Amino acid sequence: MSVREELDKLATTKWTDPRTNEEKTGHARARFTAAKGAIAQAYNLESRIRELSHEAIVAFKAGDVVGADERKLAMDELWEKMAALDLPGDVAWQHDAQAAQERGELYGVLWLHSKIFGGPESVMPSAETLRMTIPSWLAGLADAVTETSKLLRKKLRGRDVSRAERISLREKFISVAEEVLDFLNQFEDVLPMLVNNSRYRGFMNTFRGVLGRVERCIEIHEEALVAMLDRMAADAPAVAEPCSCKEPVKALGSDVSEPPYDPPDPVVAETKDDFDPPHMELD
């Protein structure tokens, strides 16, 4: 066996054909050719997963729960297809991270919606259940807070929402969002290359940038809530302070209270003689 033949034999490998999903055995060059098609397919799948996530949230905003569930199921099916692709490690990580974040965001929105707006109870799946990395899960959870903030603003645009309901919804959102932020903050000092879900440049693509977006959402609703409460306080009728002029008054430097000053009644003249004193006659 020549050196070339020996090397060609060593280059034999197994892979999954992205078009037929069949296990194949062959030369490494054939695998690279198949991987080229897998990379193109990964871009298409990631793009479609992103679209389905946003379409599901839009449907949910419009009250179309059935449509949102259908898109969520379709998104999960595409996720399974992308996970089965034979991709180089760094390429697989890039597509998995971005698509997983979109999935985590959708599941997070459904969970937070039930916490704030009520309705059917939803459970936030773990990263293990969703078959994604912890950084993707954390990023998706943070994005869910910002999307839920948008849902709340859309709700509050309705003129049929009472003042009491507006206050209640904002208070619920702030309370829940602060708890999520408190959970996320414990990862703030983790090494960025471990916790960041994106390798794209820019502060907003870092984990700290994600935390900043969550904090800003909370601030927006806090400011709106405080402004509403200030207006309510300003519109409230003023309460007159009770008069204390009849209360005992303490003399300066004394612990003994003096009785309040009660002026005498005015003298009313009934006749002119009553008003003018009699003239004295001189002898």
Phi then psi for residue 239, to 5 deg, are -100, 125
Q: What is the rounded CA–CA span in Å between residue 195 and residue 207?
A: 7
Q: Which token pair is 23?
A: 């296990």
Local structure of residue 204 (DSSP, 8 states): G
Task: Return the pLDDT at 269.
Answer: 47
Question: At 181, which helix (H) or strand (E)?
Answer: helix 163-185
Q: What is the rounded CA–CA span in Å between residue 156 and residue 215?
A: 20
Residue 271 Ramachandran class (φ > 0 left, ψ -120 to 50 alpha, else beta): beta
Residue 249: strand pairing partners: 258
Task: Return the pLDDT at 272.
Answer: 44
Mean pLDDT by groups of 10 residues along the chain of 283 residues: 86 74 82 81 90 89 86 91 80 83 92 87 88 92 94 89 92 95 93 82 77 94 92 74 52 51 51 46 44
Q: What is the rounded CA–CA span in Å between residue 128 and residue 131?
A: 5
